[in-house]
Chain A
Amino acid sequence: MSTHDLHPDDLELLERLGAIVGVVDPVPPDVVQLGRAAFALHHADTALMTLVSDAMAGAGLRATDSARGTSRLLVFEHGPVSIEMDVTWRGDLGRILGVVADASGSVAQGGHVILETGSVTRTVDLEGERFTFDRVPLGLARIVLEQAGERVMTTTWFDVG
């Protein structure tokens, strides 16, 4: 018997424990429902910008104290468009300062920038090449570039905090 094989008694014991977990700590139905609903956030027609650089400012300082602010510099790209973001956080909130570079001139000009997190969606105008989002909840977030009401590009999900 290889070490990967479970003795039938061990298998039965694990199944019994699994059944107990199903009673004392089952996956909450709303967790599964949220997972299903997440599919609404999938926009197959929107170009996905990929993360090409992720640098922690002051690397070597560990964020063990939640009151200590720290930051990361993220760069996303897709074709002629890139977004450089300074993501800072202190306590339970973060701030995103971004600069959009668009060599084509067709994506960013006159467009909007949308911040999406698990709990909030906010839209701001692109001011020149820059945008700012304050009081961003810690956790996953992504940035969407919108042009004439259409989602043109989106970053992958990234960590704030």
Chain B
Amino acid sequence: MSTLRERRDMHEPSGLTELVTAAAHGDAAAWNAIVERFSSLLWSVGRAHRLSMDDAADVVQNTWLRLLDNLDRIEQPEALPGWLATTARHECLSLLRRRGRDVLVRDDDLGPMLVDVESAALDASLLEEERDVQLWSCFRRLSERCQRLLRVLMVCDRPNYAEVSASLGMPVGSIGPTRMRCLSTLRSLVSDTGYAFESGGGRP
């Protein structure tokens, strides 16, 4: 998996312009490059809305189909990540509506939540390092709103809050403060475990 710093380079507008233009003219390799570049963003939007794997897969695929309809009409390819994130979010909401589910998250809903023990144990079994198990366990205890935000931040460019806003339907201005509160809560939970995650961190 590429790092946030590496992905910042991958989102270079010039590269996107060429890829979108080439794909619109029938270049399958260019389309494949777009799919490979942004699948993690679309997947994270679906999973951040707590969709099952099957439903998240549908959201990803539907978003690609919507993009195919619009390939010839994209005037600002550099805005493609935001367009994809917005479309994926709409697909999530559409799917939840069909399922009869609603997504209601209050702005102040940032407190810790209970974790599904069975699911947490399954995740832990996949991780080799104990401190990752602890970190993931703490993450899973964050509020749904925090998990959504951090989940999308993991795959977005650092400064691209428009993308995050589009993914989650959050005002751009609230992302920074919410992110700070969520990370602060996460650090507080982590500190209770006795593990540290700062540079060079390990067991204190």
Q: Which residues of A are at the interface with B, using a C-beta cutoff of 8 A?
A: 3-6, 8-28, 30-32, 34-36, 38-39, 41-42, 44, 48, 63-66, 118, 138-140, 156-157, 159, 161
Contacts and interface: CB of A to CB of B under 8 A. Distances in A.
A59 to B, nearest CB: 14
A11 B23 CA distance: 33
Contacts of B39: 27, 31-32, 35
- Best-buried of A8, A28, A36 by chain B (most CB within 10 Å): A36
A156 B67 CA distance: 10
Nearest to A157: B65
17 contacts: A3-B177, A3-B180, A17-B135, A18-B155, A19-B1, A20-B127, A28-B53, A36-B31, A36-B35, A36-B36, A42-B68, A42-B71, A44-B26, A63-B100, A66-B100, A118-B61, A140-B65
Contacts of B154: 14-15, 17-18, 21
Contacts, number: 138
A63 B97 contact: yes
Closest 5 CB pairs of A and B: A3-B176, A22-B1, A18-B154, A35-B35, A27-B43
A118 B32 CA distance: 19
A18 B4 contact: yes
Given A63-B98, A66-B100, A157-B65, A36 B71 contact: no
Interface size class of B (residues with CB under 8 A): 35 or more
Interface in B124-160: 126-127, 132, 135-136, 139, 150-151, 153-155, 158-159
- Best-buried of B72, B100, B135 by chain A (most CB within 10 Å): B100
Contact of B43 (A3, A15, A31): A31
B60 A35 contact: yes
Nearest to A32: B39
A18 B98 contact: no
Contacts of A48: 69, 72
Interface string B12-25: 00000000000111
A140 to B, nearest CB: 5
B62 A140 contact: yes
Given A4-B159, A6-B158, A16-B135, A23 B100 contact: no
